[in-house]
Each structure stands twice: as C-alpha cells, then as structure tokens.
Amino acid sequence: MKNMTVIASLLSLALFVPAAQSQTSHAFLWTATGGMQDLGTLGGSFSQAQGINASGQVVGYSYLAGDTTYHAFLWTASSGMQDLGAPDGANSVAMAINSAGQVVGYSSSPATSKDHIYHAILWTSGVMRNLGTLGGKSSYGTAINDAGAVTGSAQAKTGGFHPMMWTASGGMKDLGTLGQPGGYGDGINASGVIVGLSAIVNHNDEPYSWTATSGMQDLLPRHNFAGGDATAINRAGVIVGSVSTMTNAYPALWTTTGLKVLPTLGGSVGILLAVNDNDEAAGFSAIATNANHALVWTQATGLTDLGTLGGTNSQAYGINNAGQVVGYSDLP
C-alpha cells in the first residue's frame, strides 16, 4: 500500500515546479455571491492563482502564448492579468502577496537549460530582487507577511533543501530541520511564526511550526499519523495542512485546543492550503470519482465543494479575510 505521506508531500511540492499542461485550465477567483470567475491567462492554455491579499489582488503564474514559457502574474479587478516578468530567458511563479503589494515567488532556468536552477524572487513595486540561497544552487519563496518577511526553501552547501526565512535586514536564515536534511517553509504569519514540512529521523516527513525563540517544533510529536504537512498559519496562530495514514490523507488544522482532522469530499486525499484571520480555510480534496475539487471550510458550515469552471478538476490555494478564494480549474 503506498504511503500517503508521500502523496501529501507531493500536493505541496506541486506548488513549486509547474509542468507543461495538456489540459486547458485557468486561474479563478471565487466568492460566495458570484461563484467561480475565470481570470484568463497571459496567452497560454494554463494559469494558476496562488495567493490573494486583503485588497483582492491575485498572484500566480500563467503560460505565455505557445505554452513553453510561464511568467508570474498580478491580477486586479480594474486591470486584469498583468505579466510580472522574469529574469532574462527564465520562467517565474508568484506564490503570495502581502497587503503592501509585495509579491514573493521564484524564477527558474529555461526548459532548455541543462541545470534546472530556481531562485527565490521578491517583487516590490515591479522591481525583482533575487533572494539568494543558503549556499547551494536553488531556492524558492512561498509566503510573505505584511512586514515583508519571507519563507520558503533553499539549498544548503550540502545539497539538501532546508526551510528558510528571509528579511531585508538579516538576509536568508536557515531554520534547520527536525533531524534529517530536507524541508521547506510554507506559511508565515504577522508574528513571524513559520510552518511547513521537515524530514525527521526514523519517520516520515512531519509538519512543524517555528519561532525565533523556540525553534522548530514537531506538530505530530506522538507520531500517531504516518506524517503530514503544515501549509499556512493565520494571525491568531491557527495552522492548516494535512495528516496522513498509510492509505489516506486528510485536511487538518491545529488550534489552541489541538489537532482537528477533517473528512474529505469523498475521495482518499484532501489538504488545506490557506487560512484567513476568520479561521476560514481553503484547499482541495478528491471526490468520489477521484477528481480533485476546490473547497472552503468554516467551523459553521464544514466543507463546501466549490465545483469547477466546467471541467473535471479544480484546486484552491488562497483565501483572504473577505472570504475570496483563488486557485485554478479545468475548463470543459
């Protein structure tokens, strides 16, 4: 039986490395009153929204015409989808945007390059800044808070990827791991608490939370699940992600009362990828047919299937305090 920790990890790692898409799929913006809105593309057949801020600014990536190159985008209701560009000849992805409009993500070497190298990128007022690495070749930026602190993953001199934190004043800091090389930072809140996934000795990958005073803490210390992932954290410290058994992966959240494991939409895999300050979460789950559907979870209503733009699959990656959700969906 395949270990579902691997599957849960792939759900998060899929955020890092876009592949060529054979299915026409578009970024969407979902609201409770308007449903799912198609945000279009930058000329290619695929786009994916990754994050949304309080002002409703959306970021993600889209293939350009010809579907060989992808660029980060910024979408607004007034201006539509704008290309944020990329270093010369490279691809780029935007992963998150803060209230000041700073965008974090990464660039990648062209598909024709012999070495696939990725660099964490910060866009401020349209200007790109390479955030460097931890001594290795590659890094990724995945989340940013309103103070401009970034988390993600960076390659160390030894070659393994470690969770990292970057600030304008301190540069890039290695957050370490839970004992084994390997891991990444997925989310950061206003207080600078970081959550993500780390390799651990004699066990599968574990979700963690990190603070400057306490360091990295295992969120599944009793190992009563095969593993899991922590993907986002809100201002109050509510953490969302997934936990897995040997056969299934489930959406999950950690609050002051402990771990809460949620059901799926009928399939064997589910995960929460974003949470707002109202403790509303977004993510996706397999349904009974094994297709993935974007979802929203609230304490009052439980899981809500957001459907699709007419195609088979959809996934949600971001939610703001107004309850607006972004992600991507297949078209008919």
Q: Which of 86-90, 144-148, 194-198, 217-221 has the lowest mean pLDDT?
A: 86-90
- Between CA 15 and CA 282 the distance in angstroms is 15
Query: How high is the pLDDT of residue 89?
Result: 81
d(CA 316, CA 90): 26
- The pLDDT assigned to 111 comes to 60
Mean pLDDT calculated for residue range 182-205: 92
> Mean pLDDT lowest for which of 14-23, 47-56, 174-183?
14-23
**Global confidence as pTM:** 0.94
> E strands along 53-117, which residues?
58-64, 70-76, 80-85, 91-97, 103-108
DSSP secondary-structure letter at 265? B
d(Cα 176, Cα 182) in Å, to the nearest integer? Answer: 9
List the single range of 10-14, 101-105, 128-132 with lowest mean pLDDT: 10-14
Q: Are 282 and 264 in contact (CB under 8 A)?
A: no
CATH number of 4-325: 2.120.10.30
- Is the model's pLDDT at 2 over the cut of 80? no
Cβ burial, residue 176 (10 Å; 0-12/13-18/19+): middle
Residues 6+ apart with CB under 8 A from 189: 145, 233, 234, 235, 237
The reported pLDDT for the residue numbered 112 is 60
pLDDT grade for 15, boundaries at 50, 70 and 90:
very low
In this prediction, residue 207 carries a pLDDT of 96
- DSSP-assigned beta bridge partners for residue 314: 329
The average pLDDT across 222-227 equals 89
Question: What is residue 5's predicted lDDT score, i.e. its pLDDT?
Answer: 40
Check pLDDT > 80 for residue 195.
yes
* Mean confidence (pLDDT) of the chain: 91
The more confidently predicted of residues 7 and 76 is 76
- The arithmetic mean of pLDDT across residues 15-19, rounded, is 48
Band of residue 310 on the pLDDT scale cut at 50, 70, 90: very high
Question: Residue 216: which of 197, 189, 243 has the closest Cα?
Answer: 197
Question: What pLDDT was estimated at residue 17?
Answer: 44
**Total residues found in the chain within this entry:** 332
Q: Which helix (DSSP H) or strand (DSSP E) does residue 13 occupy?
A: helix 4-13
Are the CB atoms for 60 and 326 separated by under 8 Å? Answer: yes
> What mean pLDDT comes out for the span 279-296?
96
Query: What are the φ and ψ backbone dihedral angles of 102, each rounded to 5 degrees?
Result: -70, 135
The residue ranking higher by pLDDT, 21 or 179, is: 179
